[in-house]
């Protein structure tokens, strides 16, 4: 395989419809073959069903830690979106490259892969690692088995840069997330005799109301961090379903809620408080009418926040690569907190804008892609002459 530009690689990557619900193995096979033909070995970390895989590869010396360039291969669905271009075929118009995943975040992956030949030509004193994961969009799930392995290695990476779209502005922090499903089991009866039943929807409404009270408390000034937008941890209910007919007291109701937590705030405290409220106040009332009722909280997913120090080596590196010390935060989550948890300090900086992510006619500009390509020239200099 001949050397390819980031634009040409992006065209190939967009052609793989790696929606999170589907396999990413064809895309991973393409990347693995591309690296192998350049003389770079890679290793795969599969999910339990072996339908998806992470890829990890090292360029440069293997007896020391280096810099990880990390990105996720999965994209969100296009179902129900009004695209004016084919979402899984790259379309170029007026300096923009359209396609699902161009910004979030195959543009970054394409730029990294295009830089591999240049990295191979340099005498690197520190290695560069590439780490491409699956199922980031559904809770940062896929990267976890890969990180568990890296954590045990004698020479685990010393820094990580995650290429989520920030318009190549350096980002040191983001909120964490907890997603929970609450299932309320009531007792049905004819609505004419409503007091003889346990209305699952009404009890769910009381739980949702308590979540609103918790959210309002977290928004108070003494809980704020002005580096973030919004500057406080948030709680919101996003899905609810229940009931069979208007004249039947509903026996089932469930709702999903999420907590977007500032770094340092443990989102599980919200779920714990809701559980305590349910056990202390609601369940006794429900059981007094019918013993076979209940409230169950089921975690759906979680990832930690990120808060990298502006005085850290990782921050200095991303400032050098991006040419800016105007460090910021982002509202969306990344795999960065998970890298940080295993002792790999992490920053976020990548091409494109999340304003385009998850939307119809998602795009990245050729200018952003070129600027990202230029970052790897600076990274090569750093790896040859690390501070």
| Structure tokens belonging to residue 100 | 């699902």
Each residue of 34-47: b (16+ CB within 10 Å) or e?
bbeebebebeebeb
Cα 293 to Cα 301: distance, rounded to the nearest angstrom? 26
Known catalytic membership, residue 136: yes
CB 114 within 8 A of CB 383: no
The DSSP line for 231-252 is: SS-EEEEEEEEE-S-TTB--SE
What six digits make up the tokens of 303?
A: 């990832």
Phi, psi of 359 (to 5 degrees): -105, 160
Which listed residue (11, 74, 335, 340) is catalytic?
A: 74
Per DSSP, helices labelled H in the chain are 6-14, 25-37, 107-120, 143-152, 200-218, 268-277, 283-289, 313-322, 336-341, 366-384
Among residues 135, 136, 164, 362, the one annotated as catalytic is 136
74 belongs to the catalytic site = yes
Q: In what order do the strands lie in the sheet with 363-365?
A: 91-93, 96-98, 363-365
What spatial distance separates the first Cα and last Cα of the chain, rounded to whole Å? Answer: 35
The CB-side HSE value for 247 (13 A sphere, CA atoms) comes to 1
Rounded Cα distance, 181 and 256, in Å: 4
Enzyme catalytic residues: 74, 136
């Amino acid at each position: 395989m001949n050397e390819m530009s980031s634009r040409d690689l992006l065209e190939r990557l967009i052609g793989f419809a790696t929606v999170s619900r589907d396999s990413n193995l064809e895309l991973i096979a393409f990347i693995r073959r591309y690296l192998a033909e350049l003389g770079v070995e890679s290793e795969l970390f599969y999910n339990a069903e072996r339908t998806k895989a992470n890829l990890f590869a090292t360029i440069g010396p293997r007896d020391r830690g280096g810099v990880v360039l990390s990105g996720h291969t999965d994209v969100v669905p296009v179902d129900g979106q009004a695209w004016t271009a084919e979402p899984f075929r790259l379309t170029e118009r007026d300096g923009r490259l359209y396609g699902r995943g161009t910004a979030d975040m195959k543009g970054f992956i394409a730029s990294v892969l295009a830089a591999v030949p240049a990295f191979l030509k340099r005498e690197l004193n520190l290695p560069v690692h590439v780490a491409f994961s699956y199922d980031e969009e559904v809770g940062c799930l896929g990267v976890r088995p890969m990180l568990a392995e890296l954590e045990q290695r004698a020479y685990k990476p010393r820094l990580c840069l995650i290429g989520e779209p920030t318009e190549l502005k350096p980002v040191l922090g983001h909120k964490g997330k907890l997603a929970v499903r609450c299932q309320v089991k009531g007792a049905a009866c004819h609505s004419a005799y409503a007091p003889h039943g346990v209305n699952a929807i009404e009890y769910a409404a009381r739980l949702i109301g308590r979540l609103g009270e918790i959210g309002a408390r977290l928004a108070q000034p003494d809980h704020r961090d002005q580096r973030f937008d919004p500057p406080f941890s948030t709680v919101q209910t996003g899905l609810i379903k229940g009931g069979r007919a208007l004249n039947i007291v509903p026996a089932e109701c469930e709702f999903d809620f999420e907590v977007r937590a500032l770094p340092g705030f443990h989102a599980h405290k919200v779920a714990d408080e809701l559980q305590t409220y349910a056990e202390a106040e609601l369940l006794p009332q429900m059981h007094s009418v019918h013993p076979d009722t209940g409230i169950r909280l089921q975690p759906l997913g979680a990832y930690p926040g990120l808060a990298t120090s502006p005085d850290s080596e990782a921050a200095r590196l991303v400032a050098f690569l991006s040419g800016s010390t105007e460090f910021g935060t982002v509202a969306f989550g990344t795999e960065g907190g998970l890298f940080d948890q295993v002792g790999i300090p992490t920053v976020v900086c990548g091409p494109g804008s999340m304003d385009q992510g998850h939307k119809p006619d998602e795009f990245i500009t050729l200018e952003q892609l070129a600027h990202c390509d230029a970052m790897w020239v600076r990274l090569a200099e750093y790896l040859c002459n690390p501070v």
